[in-house]
Structure formats: C-alpha cells, structure tokens
C-alpha cells in the first residue's frame, strides 16, 4: 500500500507553534491533506506526552490512532512517535546548533529516552523541541541504547543555523559529528530550501536515503513536504525497513544495551521502500539564496562567487544560502532525467535508477489564493479548499491525481489552469533568502514572463 507520511511535526508546546496543534486537529488536517502517517511531534515534552497517551491507542505494531475519532479524516490517519531535539554545544572550537529527529516504536521506549535526557541535565519542560547541551552523538547513542530500532535523522539539513550542514553552526560531514555512530544515520531530511538533487551531490549521502517532511508549526502547513512509502502494512517496523532499505550494510554491536541489528540489504524487506518525496520548490524556502534581508541584498550562487559574502550596503556578513552551501560541499555530479506521468508531474531519477524520485508542488491553499485573488486565510479561499477536499478526498489527490477537467468542472477554469500550471512547473518564483520565504507566482504580467522552472537544474 502507498502511504504519504509527514514525520516532522511540532505541538502547541513548541516555540512559535500554533495553539491549534493538538492531537485531534493534527489528525483532522493530516486527513484533509491525504497524509496516512503523521508524526506525533515533541514526545520529549512531558505535557505533550501526557496528551499523546490520553488521545492515542496502538493500532498496529508501533503506530497509533485517535481513540475516539469524530470525523472521517481523523479515522484515516496513523501516528508515529516522533520528536526533534535542538543540540547546542561547542565542538572543535565551534559553536554547534543542530536539530535532530528521533523516532521510537513505543511509549515505553519514549519514556526511557526522556528519562535518560533528564538524567543528563536536559530540561524537557522548556520547549516542545528542547534545547539541550548534548552532542548529536550523545543523542544518537542514547536513543539506540534505549531501543535498537530507534530512527535518527538530521532535520532540514541545510538550514544555515540549525541544519546539520548549515553554514553557520553545522558540520561538513557526518563523520565529523557522529564519529563511529555515523553508520547509524540512515537518512537526512531535505528541508524546504533544498531538494533531493541538491543532496545527491554530497558523496557521503550516496548510500543514504533522502526524506522530506513539512516541519509544520500550524495545521495548514502539514504536508508542505512529505515522503511516500510503499508498505505491506503501516507499522513502525516497515517504516524502519523502508528508511534503511538503501543504506549501508551495518550491524550494531559496540554499545551497552544495544543488541545486534542487521541492516544489510538482504535483511530489509523489499516490500517496504520509499517511492518518492513530495517537495516544496527549494527556491520558495526562506534560505535558498544568499543574502541580507535588512538591506534587501539577494545573491544567487553565481553572484555570491562573484560579489563575495559581505553585504555591500552595511558591510556585515551575508547569510549563506542553501544553494551556495551545497555548492561548497558538493563532491558528486549526478546526471538526472525528467519523466512526466499522465498528469504532467515530473519525476526526477538518476541514470542508475537508485535515487528517490521526487515531485515539486505548491500547496493548494497558495494556488487557490492566487487564482481567487485573496489571502491564504480568507473565507473565499477556505471555502474553495473545502469544496475540493469534499469532492475529491484530499489535497494530495487534488494536486496529484484528479484529472484537470474534473477540477475545472468543480471549481472553475482558472483554478483548474492554476493547478495544471503547477503540475507542469510553469510558474515563477522569486527565491527566498536570509529568513524571507520565496514568492510563487503562477501568472505574471506579460512584461515579466520568464521560462518555466526547470526541476533538473540545480544552479
């Protein structure tokens, strides 16, 4: 079965997160989006963990559902126990600020993990995404010692300040950060400002999986990015197998309380795999280009090489964009080809056919807002969104599967055309930089027309 998953989510207890991010609302919006498996988010926070236990019951091996769903959308959604930790420490003379995701298969293992962090001095009440003075290696070792099936994935790896490869406080390699534990990192998460093709250029990621998740801080943002799994059934074990499916052949025998786990290709189920990821256009992410928002300075990688990394207006250092940072660390050049399905959606594969395919999308609310000339949160946009969901089932079904003719009949010619243009990549994006999201335009004045976005082009 095909399952769309968003496994990077935050609760109302995390900083800068909507108070609407409670368990029933997350389930409702995940169902509207077409997400079959959603992360619980923030299981390290004691109050949120209490709410998770009160609202969820195990529905399969290591996955959970609402105890008392009220709507059809809620009843369709399974939860995986997930959390994200903000590690802030000094390593090799440099301050590090890196976010890392941890997935565990049971409330029992979650409580053990939380107790271990508390014993090491972490204040888990401080934030849904706790800030801890522990190293990435300590978090990984702790999770694996608690449960051998723990999944550890660096989050939004290119974000300048909190991404693993971030230019401001990250690392240049997994070995540098994790040491011998590097081999227990099966995947990295792209973040909004990068796509799989950019990540494939990093040699140490060649045998790791690329996953994408939405990092939602509000219900409407669920599924901005997602990973599509093929699973015989929804279970923690099958997700684990899919994420490890193309990773290194490894065994874990070195650490106390950790039992040997065979991660070789022959040991993981061929039935459990990642089919493709659903991506934000990386240009739309708020750190794609180099720049300084205060001075309205924006550089492409080519411009940054030419002009340097000092703001020409104020003389301060520019924030290096993800595109430039990838260029700095890139070690591989991988040729890709673009294949379109019957709906015009592009799937990008390398010549070996081993990399995760991916699809570029614009969220449906953003498409509707431009088509209707109204704000994303307006009543007219909300009504059109709900009409489409009610008629076709979910946002992803509308964006990926529903024939354009049916959309046109349901909500009009312009919305149908807008969705079709997004499928074809016939859009224009002003790239984001230094914390400013990029802007997407489906239609432009004639004097501003440009070529459609080329999903194969990195720079």
pLDDT digits (tens, 9 = 90+) for 84-142: 999 999 999 999 999 999 999 999 999 999 999 999 999 999 999 999 999 999 999 99
* pLDDT (tens digit per residue) in 305-321: 999 999 999 999 999 99
Q: Which residue from 417, 426, 442, 425 is spatially nearest to 366, judged by alpha carbons?
A: 442
Q: Could you tell me where the DSSP H helices lie in 330-429? A: 364-372, 379-392, 395-400, 404-411, 413-424
Does 368 lie in the same domain as 271?
Answer: no
pLDDT higher than 90, residue 228: yes
pLDDT recorded at residue 331:
79
Q: In terms of domains, do 397 and 266 share one?
A: no
DSSP calls for 415-432: HHHHHHHHHHT--EEE--
How far apart are the C-alpha atoms of 50 and 445, rounded to whole Å? Answer: 53
Per-residue pLDDT of 34-56, as tens digits, reads 999 999 999 999 999 999 999 99
Q: What residues make up the domain containing 262?
A: 2-284
Whether residue 346 lies inside any domain: the answer is: no
The domain total for the chain is 2
The CATH number of residue 120's host domain is 3.20.20.140
Asked if the model's pLDDT at residue 452 lies above 50, the reply is no
Is 341 among the domain residues? no
Same domain, 109 and 244: yes
Q: Is residue 410 pLDDT above 90, yes or no?
A: yes
Both tokens assigned to 351: 């010549």
Residue 450 lies in a domain: no
Q: Is residue 18 part of a domain?
A: yes
Dump pLDDT digits (tens) for 158-175: 999 999 999 999 999 999
Q: Are residues 139 and 269 in the same domain?
A: yes
Structure tokens at 384: 């059109």
Non-local (6+) Cβ contacts of 436 within 8 A are: 286, 291, 293
| Rounded (5°) CA angle 282-89-173 | 50
The predicted-structure confidence for 252-298, as pLDDT tens digits, reads as follows: 333 333 344 444 444 444 589 999 999 989 999 999 999 999 999 99
Establish if 326 belongs to a structural domain. no
Q: Which of 239, 262, 284 is at the close of a domain?
A: 284
> Looking at the structure, do residues 14 and 154 belong to the same domain, yes or no?
yes
Strand-pair partners of 340:
346
First to last CA, the chain: 36
Element (H, E) at 91: strand 78-91
70 in any annotated domain: yes
- Judge if 253 and 375 occupy the same domain: no
Give yes or no: residues 231 and 371 share one domain. Answer: no
pLDDT in tens, 175-202: 999 999 999 999 999 999 999 889 988 9
Q: Are residues 83 and 198 in the same domain?
A: yes
Per-residue pLDDT at 457: 33
Residues 279-288 pLDDT 10s = 989 999 999 9
Question: Model confidence over 63-84: pLDDT tens digits?
Answer: 999 999 999 999 999 999 999 9
**Does a structural domain hold residue 234?**
yes
Q: Which of 52, 58, 76, 55 is nearest to 66 (CA)?
A: 55
Q: pLDDT category, 30, cuts 50, 70, 90? A: very high
Rounded to whole angstroms, the maximal C-alpha distance in the chain is: 66
In this predicted structure, the answer to whether residue 459 has a pLDDT above a threshold of 50 is no
Of the candidates 219, 253, 284, which is a domain's last residue?
284
Residue 286 vs residues 157, 244, 321, 431: alpha-carbon distances, Å: 14, 30, 9, 8
278 shares a domain with 368: no
pTM listed for this prediction: 0.90
**Statement to judge: residues 104 and 252 lie in one domain:** yes
Residues 23 and 114 in one domain: yes
Residue % of the chain over a pLDDT of 90: 80
Tell me the average pLDDT across 423-445: 91
Within-domain flag for 201 = yes
CA-wise closest residue to 163 among 322, 278, 47: 322
Residue 336: pLDDT band by 50, 70, 90 thresholds?
Answer: low
Alpha-carbon Rg for the chain in angstroms: 21
Q: What pLDDT was estimated at residue 133?
A: 97
The pair of structure tokens assigned to 178 is: 């994790």
Same domain, 44 and 148: yes
């Amino acid at each position: 079965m095909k399952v769309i998953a968003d496994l990077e989510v935050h609760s109302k207890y995390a900083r800068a997160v909507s108070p609407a991010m409670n368990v029933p609302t997350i389930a409702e919006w995940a169902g509207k989006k077409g997400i079959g498996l959603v992360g619980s988010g923030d299981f390290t926070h004691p109050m949120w963990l209490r709410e998770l236990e009160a609202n969820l019951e195990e529905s399969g091996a290591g996955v959970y559902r609402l105890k008392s769903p009220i709507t059809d959308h809620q009843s369709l959604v399974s939860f995986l126990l997930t959390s994200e930790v903000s590690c802030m420490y000094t390593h090799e003379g440099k301050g590090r600020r890196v976010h890392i995701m941890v997935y565990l298969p049971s409330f029992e293992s979650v409580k053990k993990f939380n107790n271990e962090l508390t014993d090491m001095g972490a204040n888990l009440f401080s934030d849904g995404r706790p800030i801890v003075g522990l190293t990435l290696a300590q978090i990984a070792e702790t999770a694996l010692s608690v449960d051998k099936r723990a999944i550890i994935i660096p989050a939004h790896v290119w974000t300048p300040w909190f991404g693993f490869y971030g230019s401001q406080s990250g690392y240049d390699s997994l070995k540098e950060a994790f040491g011998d534990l590097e081999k227990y990192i099966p995947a990295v998460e792209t973040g909004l400002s990068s796509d799989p093709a950019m990540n494939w250029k990093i040699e140490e990621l060649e045998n790791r999986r690329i996953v994408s998740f939405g990092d939602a801080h509000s219900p409407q943002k669920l599924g901005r990015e997602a990973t599509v799994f093929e699973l015989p059934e929804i279970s923690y074990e099958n997700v684990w197998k899919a994420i490890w499916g193309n990773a290194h052949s490894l065994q874990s025998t070195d650490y106390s309380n950790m039992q040997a786990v065979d991660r070789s290709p022959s040991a993981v189920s061929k039935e459990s795999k990642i089919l493709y990821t659903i991506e934000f256009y990386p240009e739309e992410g708020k750190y794609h280009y180099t720049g300084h928002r205060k001075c309205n300075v924006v550089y492409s990688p080519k411009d940054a090489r030419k002009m340097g990394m000092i703001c020409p207006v104020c003389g301060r250092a520019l924030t290096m964009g993800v595109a430039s940072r990838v260029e700095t660390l890139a070690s591989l050049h991988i040729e890709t080809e673009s294949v379109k399905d019957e709906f015009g959606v592009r799937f990008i594969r390398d010549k070996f056919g081993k990399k995760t395919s991916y699809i570029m999308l614009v969220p449906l609310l953003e498409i509707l807002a431009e088509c209707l000339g109204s704000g994303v949160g307006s009543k007219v946009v909300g009504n059109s969104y709900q009409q489409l969901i009610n008629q076709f089932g979910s946002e992803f079904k509308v964006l990926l599967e529903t024939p354009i003719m049916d959309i046109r009949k349901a909500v009009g010619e312009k919305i149908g055309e807008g969705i079709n243009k997004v499928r074809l990549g016939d859009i224009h994006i002003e790239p984001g930089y230094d914390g400013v999201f990029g802007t997407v335009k489906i239609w432009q004045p004639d004097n501003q027309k440009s070529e459609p976005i080329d999903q194969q082009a990195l720079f």
